[in-house]
Amino acid sequence: MAEKKVNLKDASAKEAKAKDAALEAAVTQIERDFGVGSLMRLGDKGTVKVDSIPTGSLALDLALGIGGVPRGRIIEIFGPESSGKTTLVNHIIAEAQALGGVCAFIDTEHAIDPVYSQAIGVDTDELLVSQPDYGEQALQIADRLIASAAVDVVAIDSVAALTPKAELDGQIGDTTVGLQARLMSQALRKLAGSLNRTKTVCIFTNQIREKIGVQFGSPETQPGGRALKFYSSQRLDIRRIETLKEGTEAVGNRVRVKVVKNKVAAPFRQAEFDIEYGVGISREGGLLDFGIEQDLVQKSGSFFSYGEVRLGQGRNNAKQFLNDNPELALEIETKVRTALGIGATTGDSAPGSEAPIAEAQAA
């Protein structure tokens, strides 16, 4: 009887070992065919080694898993009106420019605000801007910029405003079923290969629409068909969750970003951060939050300190101190990124460079 149990146990162990070997072979084949990161365990903390550009928010960089948005990939940022989509794009552009990169902004909504962009940190004198007349023109401009291999970030704001030329040539009220979806599908097939070769980040912002007659599940959808959902390596759902006030005056928004798709790290992570009116994402607020979490910044009562340096009394004063002392803020940020394991990002203006952010910013 005991011998029979041993035999059954051995057979079960051999079967389990064979299954593990078969699974490992399948995973290897999948990664060979579709790329590393196309299949992973949800609980894995390991990420694909992909060069990235920071987003301007420490919380979001951590949620994305690789310290920012990946090079050579397509990113979709979608959400309701006034949720911070364009603000986030401007911060990514500012970060890329700070690392010596060249960026382009294709403004299909014809609503760019250069004063606000400059306040966020965008070098508007060096930013390439296009306000195309129709969708095909916008995507052709993007294609040529990407193919040049000289641009680090191409942002298209937004997909909903990519109007096909046939629709513009027609009359208001004419039926043009699927034109925009076909336009996006055709363009993305072409852009995906170019982006991979040139290591350019292509960011699409998108609006939200609602499907009629949906009784179960979310009725929300995005314009432009389904192609962008498939081709995107990261999809970020950004929502305003709270209005920040000083007394009765609104001074900003608290937003939550959910990573609903991520091909280079585990998806479904979330990040929350403040967006201040006229300023953008509060970098200093993120440094204080993560600095305290990592025991780099000490809080005693209402006082904040970093080592022997007193940052100030109260959160707002501490944030202002960091804003007035960018070298100290950079030192704290570098240590926080190292502690969180999100320090490796693009550090060279040339697409494809893999220098760490700390080296790039110190250069």
CA distance 189 to 253: 36
Position 301 in a domain? yes
The answer on 186 and 332 residing in a single domain is no
CA distance 242 to 254: 5
Position 86 in a domain? yes
Q: Are 357 and 99 contacting, i.e. CB atoms less than 8 angstroms apart? A: yes
Q: pTM score, two decimals? A: 0.79
The answer on 184 and 303 residing in a single domain is no
| Three-state SS at 94 | helix
Q: Residue 217 belongs to a domain with what CATH number?
A: 3.40.50.300
The answer on 327 and 309 residing in a single domain is yes
- Other Cβ atoms closer than 10 A to 189: 11
The answer on 316 and 221 residing in a single domain is no
CA distance 164 to 290: 45
The answer on 145 and 62 residing in a single domain is yes
The answer on 269 and 302 residing in a single domain is no
Q: Give the residue numbers spanning the domain of 272.
A: 52-169+178-281
Position 263 in a domain? yes
The answer on 207 and 95 residing in a single domain is yes
The answer on 266 and 125 residing in a single domain is yes
Position 206 in a domain? yes
CA dihedral 250, 252, 256, 257 (to 10 degrees): 150
Work out the widest C-alpha separation in the chain, in whole angstroms. Answer: 85
The answer on 255 and 115 residing in a single domain is yes
pLDDT of residue 37: 74
| Three-state SS at 237 | strand
The answer on 186 and 60 residing in a single domain is yes
pLDDT of residue 354: 38
Query: At 199, phi and psi to the nearest 5?
Result: 60, 35
Position 6 in a domain? no
Position 17 in a domain? no
Q: Residue 318 belongs to a domain with what CATH number?
A: 3.30.250.10
Position 59 in a domain? yes
Domain count of the fold of the chain: 2
Position 7 in a domain? no
pLDDT of residue 349: 38
The answer on 235 and 163 residing in a single domain is yes
How do beta strands 74-78 and 52-53 pair? unpaired
The answer on 207 and 88 residing in a single domain is yes
Query: At 249, phi and psi to the nearest 5?
Result: -90, 130
pLDDT of residue 191: 96
Low-confidence ranges of the chain (pLDDT < 50): 344-363
CA distance 351 to 353: 6
